[in-house]
Amino acid sequence: MLDKRIGWQFDNTYSSLPESMLSKLSPTPVKAPEIVIFNDSLSKKLGLDFSKISKKELASIFSGNQLPIGSESIAQAYAGHQFGHFTILGDGRALMIGEHITKDNKRYDLQFKGSGKTPYSRNADGRAALGPMLREYIISEAMHGLKVPTTRSLAVVKTGENIIREENLDGAILTRVASSHIRVGTFQYALISNNKNDLKSLFNYTIKRHYPEILKSKTAAVDLLKIVYEKQMSLISEWMRVGFVHGVMNTDNMTISGETIDYGPCAFMDTYSPDTVFSSIDLHGRYAYFNQPAITKWNLERFAESLLPLIDDNREKAIKSATEIMSTFPNRYKKVWITMMKNKLGIIGDDPDDESLISELLSWMHLNKIDYTNTFCFLMDELLIGKEIYSNKQFLSWKKKWAQRRLIGNTIEGSISLMRKSNPLFIPRNHIVEDALKFATELNDLTKVKQFLLACENPYEKKTHIMQYQKVPKPTNKKYQTYCGT
């Protein structure tokens, strides 16, 4: 009955994988669920209709108290290199409730985050707090608006229970929508399984689900490595484009689909600084802004290692072909990055001085602590506030060179149109997100969150009210810090 009204189309293909890859269990019921925010437009995109459902029922569904018919909830097993150290992990506070298939035959995982303990929880409580779940909702939806591949957020529900962190906090559950939750770490887990077939099963499942075009290939394992390499490389270049620092690029947080996943200690950079780190535990800058491409390569190498038994029965040969592929990464990435930066500057074609033109601007921003996003807005003549700094002599001399270069092989209109597609007019700045979250969590007032989310639907579109989001934070000695596992 419920299903007909809503339009769920559940399938549970992941459960067909070997037993060791997952645990079947139900969400732990919660006391008094209450909807905090619900994503109507995503729900429509999924072909779901909750208009005939009461608020109470909606909260009951998205807290896991009442699972949709056809849903078989599971926690997925995976492993991962956390800050370089290999660990066995798994969904410790998340449950996949199943795969929903849309009318146009697209398959999405629906996952609850914060839904209680699982066999993989170790000593932790399996729960999540309202602030961080709302933060994931905001940042993931903002990333979608920024046109960066990402998992999405469908709902946040308050559980009506307290969770204990440094203080008592409201417990909450986020519903995450992903094209799948298969990670590099899932392959690492299958590789070390006692059952030799687990890796092959996961591999077959993954290509059937994501890359059916290589199903018949005789070199499917090498093909998969190459595809994931391209996906991850282009994803990370997108992060670099918008100044995003993921913060915890462990191999368990890197998807095979190429979507950004796990918005924990992530944040956006304001003033340009390559060594920007926000995470409180990233003491050595392993996951700093400018280290993200090198870490992507490192993570892809772990993926390649997991695929070795499938690449060739002869280990030496397998290593040789994986190494050959991975050795191309630095040059390939550099090309992708230069093209991305040239798009941001509205320049086309190749000129031997392009790289130094880009570097000169970045160095100027770095040395003078200039805002990254706003600089490109200024160059597009779309910066509404804080323009004084751009009368700097050094900047003006760079700008003159840029103004000449952008007209080589292009018109002003062509250049601007390229820039407008590559440069958002604003990003989810930390002080703005924090302020909106404070209102939501302390005053139960979602106005700011909703207003900001509305703007984030299209951060490339010129609207008068965006001025408030171009405001840079007041200078302070205190570093903005984010925390894991909250």
Point out the residues that are catalytic: 252
- From the list 11, 34, 57, 125, which residue makes contact with ligand AMP (rule: CB under 6 A)? 125
The residue of the chain with the least Cβ separation from ligand AMP equals 92
Residue 90 CA to residue 128 CA, distance in Å, equals 16
Residue closer to ligand AMP, measured from CB, 114 or 459: 114
Tell whether residue 92 is a contact of ligand AMP (CB under 6 A).
yes
Tell whether residue 121 is a contact of ligand AMP (CB under 6 A).
yes
Contacts with ligand AMP, 261-300, as mask; x by CB under 6 A: -x-x------------------------------------
Residue closer to ligand AMP, measured from CB, 253 or 276: 253
Residue 309 CA to residue 195 CA, distance in Å, equals 13
- On whether the CB atoms of residues 159 and 32 are closer than 8 A, the answer is yes
- Total residues at the site for ligand AMP (CB under 6 A)? 19
Distance, CA of 156 to chain centre: 17
The residue of the chain with the least Cβ separation from Mg ion equals 262
Question: In this structure, how many other beta carbons lie within 10 angstroms of the beta carbon of residue 346?
Answer: 25
Give the contacts of 148 (CB within 8 A, at least 6 positions apart).
235, 238, 239, 241, 242, 244, 260
Q: Which stretch binds Mg ion (CB under 5 A): 43-51, 57-65, 255-263, 373-381?
A: 255-263
φ and ψ at residue 366, rounded to 5 degrees = -65, -50
Tell whether residue 39 is a contact of Mg ion (CB under 5 A).
no
Residue 300 CA to residue 384 CA, distance in Å, equals 41
Cα–Cα nearest to 101, from 209, 23, 213: 209
- From the list 259, 262, 371, 382, which residue makes contact with Mg ion (rule: CB under 5 A)? 262
Residue closer to ligand AMP, measured from CB, 91 or 238: 91
Residue 261 CA to residue 247 CA, distance in Å, equals 11
Report the site for ligand AMP in 229-268 (rule: CB under 6 A).
248, 252-253, 262, 264
Q: How far is the CB of 85 from ligand AMP (least distance, A)?
A: 12
Q: How far is the CB of 386 from ligand AMP (least distance, A)?
A: 35
Residue closer to Mg ion, measured from CB, 94 or 449: 94
Question: In this structure, how many other beta carbons lie within 10 angstroms of the beta carbon of residue 315?
Answer: 11
Residue found by looking up tokens 């669920």 in the block: 33
- On whether the CB atoms of residues 198 and 190 are closer than 8 A, the answer is yes
Residue closer to ligand AMP, measured from CB, 88 or 227: 88
- On whether the CB atoms of residues 480 and 267 are closer than 8 A, the answer is yes
Residues that bind Mg ion (CB under 5 A): 253, 262
Kindly list the residues in this chain that would bind ligand AMP in the complex (CB under 6 A): 89-94, 120-121, 124-127, 248, 252-253, 262, 264, 484-485
